[in-house]
Chain A
Amino acid sequence: MKPFTLNHAQSANEALASLAGGATAIAGGTNLVDLMKLQIATPDELVSIRRTGLDAITPENDGLRIGALVTNADCAADLRVRKSWPLLAKAILAGASPQLRNRATTGGNLCQRTRCGYFYDTTQACNKREPGSGCAAREGFNRIHAVLGTSDACIATYPGDMAVALLALDAVVHVEGPQGARTISVGEFHRQPGDDPGRDNVLERGELITAVTLPAPTGGRQIYRKVRDRASYAFALISVAIDLSMEGDRIARCALAFGSLGTVPWRDPAVEAVLVGERPSPALFDKAADVLLRDARGFGKNDFKIALARRALAATLHEATKG
């Protein structure tokens, strides 16, 4: 671990001042500290934002405002979340371990970096870690990698669960920075790698996530299906978040997001368009999968994800639409 200084900001403004001076924000540190031990992240100055008071969950309009420092454990346990946005609680509880969820925060989790083994191994080429060094994963052991949204430079996934649920719930990320406050929809928060995979998201230098807001609940049926190699404490091979409402025997409304399928949490309006207004059937589910996977491309070890996505989608739609 490279030597670093650590300061505790007592307010969001103090934190922003430190960030403007080049500091890196640390909240739970569940990801950042690992990266620092391996010297994948080598900040000289850390500013802890744990004392900034951004840790409340408050009603806002008909929705909910979740402070950036609300821990994953607290968020998943919140009665309002569990009652009206159960998808979010389910997704959070599908990830990590109780110890990690006690520590990890809402804002930090959105900024979680990939689990690509080549990113984590400094002996290997990785454009995300070291721009221009190449991508060893492309022709390497890429079982957990993306089949959508990849580029020549990078095929790594965003590995988390929470953001997938937030995406299906149309959540909004609230940010403050040198240019003032702004909001970013979760769907626009993560960046596809393109030719600049080093930047996982659209946060600008000096910006700090202050909260995530959820719009009014839809009242739909919400399911988070996480497909993985072991029953717990494993990143998703594919996850599906759904918020679906029926009217009679037809699908009236449907929000669908996928984790670990693309380089970013993946939502495709065209898939939802195929489903809305239709009677659920295996054939319809297949058609939705055709649209979802129209541009899917495997890299060898992850080819199976294309077939798996089709079946995971069918399973989720089947569960969400059956009587």
Chain B
Amino acid sequence: MRLPLADLYNKPDERNLLDHTRQGIIGKPLDRPEGPLKVSGSATYAAEWKLPGCVDGVLVLASIAQGKVTKIHDKAALAMPGVLAVLADKAMLRRPAQGTAGKAPAQDVAKVEYFGQPVALVVAETFEQARDAALALKVEYKAAKSPIPFDPESPDAKVEKAPDRKAVKGGDLDKAMKNAAFSVDVEYDTPGHASAAMEPHATIAEWQDDKLILRGSYQMLAYNVKEIADCLSISPKKVRILSPYVGGGFGSKLGITHEAVAAAIAAKELGRPVRVVMTRQQVFQAVMRRSETRQRVRLACDAGGKLIGLGHEALVSNLPKEQFAEPVTQATEFLYGGDNRLLKVDVARISRMTAGSVRAPGEAVGMQVLEAAMDELAEKIGIDPIELRKRNLPGKVPVQGTAYSSRMLVEALEQGAQAFGWDQRNAQPCQSREGDWWIGMGVASAARVNMLIPAEARVTLKADGTALVETDQTDIGTGSYAILGQIAGEMLGLPIARVTVVLGDTSLPAGAGSGGSFGAISTGSAVMRACEAIRAKLADKLGCDAEALDLKDGVASSGDTSSPLEHLLDGGDIAEIGSIKPGKTALDYAQASYGAFFAEVAVHAFTGETRVRRMTGAFGFGRVLNAKTARSQCLGGMVWGIGSALTEELAFDLRDGHLVNHDLAEYHVPVHADVPAIEVILLEERDAAASPLQAKGVGELGICGAAGAIANAIHNACGVRVRSFPITLDKVLPHLPDPFAPDPFATAA
């Protein structure tokens, strides 16, 4: 039998190969091999490389939102101690590249499009000298004659249909709303979010003759090479990026960003390596934001609690001409039934930093609102919110008619409910109080689209019976090193200690990169396919069919024949490149990862402060590749859910468009004390349509709906339904019952 090694993934690979291999390490909660380096401070991050002669650059940001730089008074700055150059090259970026753009044409930084846009770079012998000169640099501007608004709600804001997203229309939603036995028609809003990765954006650029080497912090290297090459008008072949360790990305490092281009230009100009590290404030002001959203959700159901109509319309924002529009309705398209439907996303053109991918673009904010609206509908009907969801899972995707690949939503809801103790919930709000705190419980579904994207990886089975996995795939703290090693070890029958994984170097085959939860399954599939090719060669050497080949602990066997790999290889390595590209399975099946969130919150009866007391998440995302890293991804997602529900918000001053809270003291991500005990339940599943691994994406799943469960729990606790995220105490306070009333619910009635 020929192995299906063609690039395109056109047919579900039903062989479930990883269930027939015998090493037994796939899925196991193995430690990340690079973990000890990271916790001991010996993993080298972008800014930490020591290059001889390296100097430091600091970006200068615009102090107006729209206009033109007319003059940069660089003389005084150049006279300051240690200062080497003040650059405002036309090729520098105004806007970072969007994920998978693969291009970033020179943009002319003299034109200012948003407050905080980088307009120049000051380079000096030391970082402190460069920062001092950058702050001292006088820049003259001419304000734009006809500026666009800062506020997406402004009547002057031009509103367009999302360029990268088709509206979904079916039947007659208005009529369904009229005929509904129960309905909700509600408007929610969510604020802008920052990625807030721990490691700020950083690059060290070094030219070796006409070759550029970037040591930086990026998520998708194969695309980043093309982007920087485009910017600098050089061949991508002349660019090498090294990014072995990345301190978090969350979407903000998908495309090439300002500091990389500026460092490359400065290094060329000075003939020395140049390091540019963005300050925390600069990352907040100049790199990607998640758009704020205003969402109208209409749900119409019949007397039996079955949806007959579903509307989800969103207004998001971006700079003019950006293709990206927060895909708010992405999961709504396939999650629940209701044939009369209208889903659409509009984008207001405003002046704020570029909107792009931030932590599960689309579902993170779309699902939290949809799931809050579902809770409102369940309350109206008077049925359990879990039951409402179970009643509304369609057999095929509404309007489009696509079949589902695998979907463990019911299992997630049921197993999660059991583990959480959902049966202890009183459906009536204001029934549980402990001291000054109202206690409540909420539930929400999780859903996130699954994506397979092109990826390659090389696997070398060495003559000594060890394996080397090589790809430019990044590990942004997610576990790429661990799982790629596990896949290779499982496929080649090697203990994990005999597998080495080298990542983050564009001289290696191009992996998928990290983003959109696609890194593990895409690059993992490439690794698997490379291993399949190696297995075929080993089978030849052993004299058996590939299907009959058994590999375990470095020994190949088939029937009565067996041989240690070292003997079989006889001094020669076997190196194979595996690759995968999305094919027909992407069109034939609606693929998504699913789950359910359960949250218990306490709302302070006097002050309206909300604290999450515990959370449970149950998730089905195909094969679990590593139970530890998968669990960590889910945990992290749920922590972001707490932030999205309660604390995170980009605050803009609508007078001049500047971001007010541009540091981690005032942009509130949850801290340890905000994160309670979180239980994660992983549901084993196989999804052959998703990838040869039968795995789906899990990276972002834990956030997609989590905030909805918390919002619903707040309502259950104190009877207050807040339709504006984050649910800060000032929004709860005016609606709280009298804290001194013995039975506030009775008072209210």
Q: Which residues of A contact B (CB under 8 A)?
A: 1-3, 37, 39, 115, 117-118, 120-124, 136, 139-141, 143, 227-235, 237, 282, 304, 307-308, 311-312, 314-315, 318-319
Contacts and interface: CB of A to CB of B under 8 A. Distances in A.
Interface stretch (B343-351, B517-525, B652-660): B652-660
A141 B651 contact: yes
Interface in B126-158: 128, 131-132, 135
Main SS of the interface on chain A? loop
A232 B81 CA distance: 41
B646 A230 contact: yes
A307 B732 CA distance: 12
A141 B671 contact: no
A3 B136 CA distance: 13
A140 B674 contact: no
Contacts of A39: 132, 135
A123 B658 contact: yes
Interface in B708-740: 728-730, 733-734, 739-740
Contacts of B661: 117, 141
A95 B646 CA distance: 20
Given A123-B63, A308-B733, A232 B128 contact: no
A1 B128 contact: yes
Nearest to A1: B128
B79 to A, nearest CB: 14
A37 B132 CA distance: 9
Q: How large is the interface on B (under 10, 10 to 19, 20 to 34, 35 or more residues)?
A: 35 or more
Nearest to B63: A123
A267 to B, nearest CB: 21
Contacts, number: 98
Nearest to B731: A304
8 contacts: A117-B661, A121-B658, A141-B652, A230-B670, A230-B671, A232-B672, A235-B665, A319-B436
A111 to B, nearest CB: 18
Contact of B647 (A141, A143, A230, A235): A230
Given A39-B135, A139-B655, A307 B671 contact: no
A304 B733 contact: yes
B294 to A, nearest CB: 19
B673 A141 contact: no
Main SS of the interface on chain B? loop
Given A117-B666, A141-B660, A304-B734, 11 more contacts: A1-B131, A117-B651, A122-B135, A143-B651, A229-B728, A231-B671, A232-B674, A233-B671, A282-B740, A304-B733, A307-B734
Nearest to B728: A229
B609 interface: yes
Given A141-B653, A315-B436, A234 B729 contact: no
Given A1-B132, A308-B729, A315 B739 contact: yes
Given A3-B81, A117-B666, A124-B658, A307 B733 contact: yes
Nearest to A117: B660
A234 to B, nearest CB: 6
Contact of B730 (A1, A121, A141, A308): A308
B673 A232 contact: yes
Contacts of A307: 733-734
B658 to A, nearest CB: 7
Nearest to B652: A141
B313 to A, nearest CB: 28
Contacts of A117: 651, 660-661, 666
Contacts of A141: 651-653, 660-661
